[in-house]
A and B are shown apart, each in its own frame.
Chain A
């Protein structure tokens, strides 16, 4: 079952046993928590940045990581331009890859 890496080993069963222990500890913490939760009240309402979300609201995938994407905008715009969708560009980049491969192989 164990996977030896040369530096050590990885055992998923040991990991699962540890995860079960951590899960049990988390369950104990949960049990010691406050008992004021009531299902079907406004405690069940989604909490979106301090605003009450309209019923049935869904935060769709494109809205997630907004800040992360804004921070990376220059990089992502460059990547978007790189993936132009023109087949001529595809072939051009393949020629670049071929040139690099030939240079490495021929010069070494």
Chain B
């Protein structure tokens, strides 16, 4: 048995151990803490890449905890009783997004966080959040999904509000925690219903047993409500601008990936757990319509923002709308197996990766602005391009990619979404295009206001670590923009196929046969 077999559990366990050991290393010496954090980060990324390579070359990876063999997921009678990790193309793809964002956040932290402002605490919470996200993405068990959901909720809220010497982050953390708690309870109630009905928690086993009873439908509705809220869908999105806008930059970028982990949970519930019994066109229309509503409301709300952080936050919420629209259109076309449904799925899933890189880059650039000037108020910013040349370039790249300007990556994924959503409804496609135009206008305004014009104040340049973190994301944006076919064929395609027609393979990998 090779070491790679254990990669799924190591990808979760190592950052978890890394989080709890970090304060101990700080007590010994701060440089030891930094070495430990870098080692944990590098090892976690290596494990995530190992998992992805195994999944994309060999198919679904199953890892059973406590069994004689990690692949022995079922006991006699075909019942999966232990904790099982099940990683298919979609899970592996999400792991790669989490690894990319985690790596950028960690590198940025080294240059951004100050010792006297809770550097150790922030890094500890980051590793907890990272472990929780990877756990949500790799687990094959509904209850463990809930446990990791709660791990991410607690870590995320703490990251938003750990700077207790400022009032706004604490208020944002409270609001976010209130919403996460209600959403988490909905998810837990739903899992309780399923466990009461079928006596099992394993996703594959439940998927093979659900019959579409009224209780099943209520459980699905509760999961939809809880996960759509945590994904930031309108009208339950209001916590997101508060959290993204007030969190420090290195945390805000991970919050975006955390939101996507909830979206992944939604896809898993819809395409694996309930796909056999739900009315796919109706639920698909619901998800796609919420996506269009999210695009429109978030972009219009962004128009009025004067705070750079909140403006980017609303931009991030609008991007969630594109993902919901793409995958919702795919779900609506699932029962008829129309080809454009799969194209829509690819567009929505590709946009998840694009959003992580693009919004992440903008948030990191906004962190540099805040650090350099002490404010994110657009009314008092201007001319930063004179002193922050690299940051200006990165911000402009992020703006153009987010607005879907060719030849950047945002255009490629939105192009897939526009074409396929037009087949379902021209109105949905028109809203998606309108959203992109407004988004370009909003962010062009932010760029002009903050970076162009005469120098209004001296700005402290970004540290090399902060520039390196932004450079990583910028390189990914350019690569995906110039070679979208490569990324869609090798990463996005297998992820979309795993949802589109991969349920049987998933069930067979976990349950045998």
Contact = CB atoms under 8 A, between A and B. Distances in A.
By CB atoms of chain B within 10 A, which of A1, A3, A7, A82 has the most?
Answer: A3
B179 A90 contact: yes
A90 B175 contact: yes
B175 A93 contact: no
A39 interface: no
A20 to B, nearest CB: 11
Interface in B160-201: 174-175, 178-179, 182-183, 186
B283 A58 contact: no
Nearest to B416: A5
B147 interface: no
B238 A93 contact: yes
A28 interface: no
Chain A interface: which size bin? Answer: 35 or more
A106 to B, nearest CB: 5
Given A1-B483, A6-B339, A76-B304, A89 B419 contact: no
A100 interface: yes
B72 interface: no
Contacts, number: 166
Interface stretch (B4-12, B30-38, B61-69, B225-233): B225-233
Interface in A1-18: 1-7, 10, 12-13, 15-16
A29 interface: no
A10 B412 contact: yes
A50 interface: no
Contacts of B214: 106
A80 B297 CA distance: 11
Contacts of B411: 10
Contacts of B290: 97
B304 A79 contact: yes
B300 A76 contact: yes
Interface string B205-226: 0000000001001101110111
Contacts of B179: 87, 90-91, 94
Leading 9 A-B pairs by shortest Cβ distance:
A61-B449, A98-B225, A12-B407, A102-B221, A58-B453, A108-B282, A61-B378, A108-B279, A101-B224
Interface of A: 1-7, 10, 12-13, 15-16, 19, 56-62, 64-65, 68-69, 72, 75-76, 79-80, 82-83, 85, 87, 89-91, 93-94, 96-98, 100-102, 104-106, 108
